[in-house]
Amino acid sequence: MTVTSDPGFSRSEMMIVAAARALEGQHVCFVGVGLPNIAVNLAQRTVAPSLEMVYEAGVFGARPSRLPLSIGDPTIVTGSTAVVSMLELFGYYLQGGLIDVGFLGAAQIDRFGNINTTVIGDYEHPRTRLPGSGGACEIAINARQVFVIMRQSKRSFVESIDFRTSPGNLGGAEQAERIRREGGWLGRGPSIVVTDLGIYRFDDDGEMRLDSLHPGATLDGVRETIGWEIRVADSLAATPPPSAGELRLVREELDPGGVYTR
């Protein structure tokens, strides 16, 4: 990779902006813990102003005046449409089928979009204990579709995940479609993965395919950070760089401390 001049934005900023843009046209989004929080809040301030943000803490229609510090924060309550118990949130809103997009983060993902957020290594004797499911498992099953945002590396994009916390396209599209249909799952699974290098969608085999490269990223760089032979779209797109407006919102309004963009 040749070193080019400073593009004026970080790879994390590009990732967050690209993830936010993916929500254009979406109506109801379940906001997962971590990076989804800033991406979805940016979307509400840009491409999807009428987006209904749903937080597992028990909020429908959040209108946070600052970026929530985590997925529970007094700012997601003040001015929201509804505050409900977690039983109602998971029971009526998620399992009842009202969520268009579940936006998740991940520690490990495989080529079929199955996600691990539980352990690295063996479950009983883990090398690294991760947070666990939280609501991710049921979001992956019940949200109509799943978007994923995560930084990519050989450790996170792996041939085989150490623990399946949240199901994606299982062993491939054919199996996933059959099991989801026969099991009466509402969700059709993952549809987009946004990383710090590019945007991936899932092909007819249910396998991740690079669709767009971010500015500054190269195909070689992508391949070096994925633990399997990644499929690449015939017409590989170039992700438009963040606009000045998007960068201003991220830097000045949402994350002035650089928590997500460092």
Partner 1 sequence: MTAPKVASMRDAIADLVRDGDTVAIEGFTHLIGFSAGHEIIRQRRRDLTLARLTPDLVYDQMIAGGVASKLIFSWLGNPGVGGLGAIRRRIEGEIRDQPLALEEYSHFGMVGRYTAGAMNLPFFPLRSYFETDLPVANPLIRPVESPYSDERIYAVPPLKPDVAIVHAQRASAAGDTQVWGLLGCQKEVAFAADRVIVVVEELVEDEVVRSDPNRTIIPGLIVDAVVLEPWGAHPSYVQGAYDRDNRFYLDWDPITRDEDAIQAWLEEWVYGVADRAEYMAKLGAERMASLRPSAAAPSGSVDYGAYR
CB of 57 to partner 1, least distance (A): 5
User: 156 or 165, CB closer to partner 1?
Assistant: 165
**Interface with partner 1 (CB under 8 A):** 33, 56-59, 69-74, 76-79, 83-87, 90-91, 94-95, 118, 123, 125-129, 131-138, 141-142, 163-167, 170, 179, 183-186, 259
CB of 74 to partner 1, least distance (A): 5
Check if 138 is active-site.
no
CB of 243 to partner 1, least distance (A): 27
Name the catalytic one among 13, 24, 52, 56: 56
One-letter amino acid at 222 equals V
d(CA 143, CA 147) in angstroms, rounded, equals 10
User: 47 or 186, CB closer to partner 1?
Assistant: 186
Q: With helix as H, strand as E and coil as C, how does 169-238 read?
A: CCCCHHHHHHHHHHCCCCCCCEEEEECCCEEEEECCCCCEEEEEECCCCCHHHHHHCCCCCCEEEEEEEE
A 10 A CB-CB count for 25 gives 9
CB of 63 to partner 1, least distance (A): 12
d(CA 57, CA 84) in angstroms, rounded, equals 8
d(CA 34, CA 67) in angstroms, rounded, equals 12
User: 61 or 72, CB closer to partner 1?
Assistant: 72
What Rg, from alpha-carbon coordinates, does the chain have?
Answer: 18
* Active-site residue list: 56
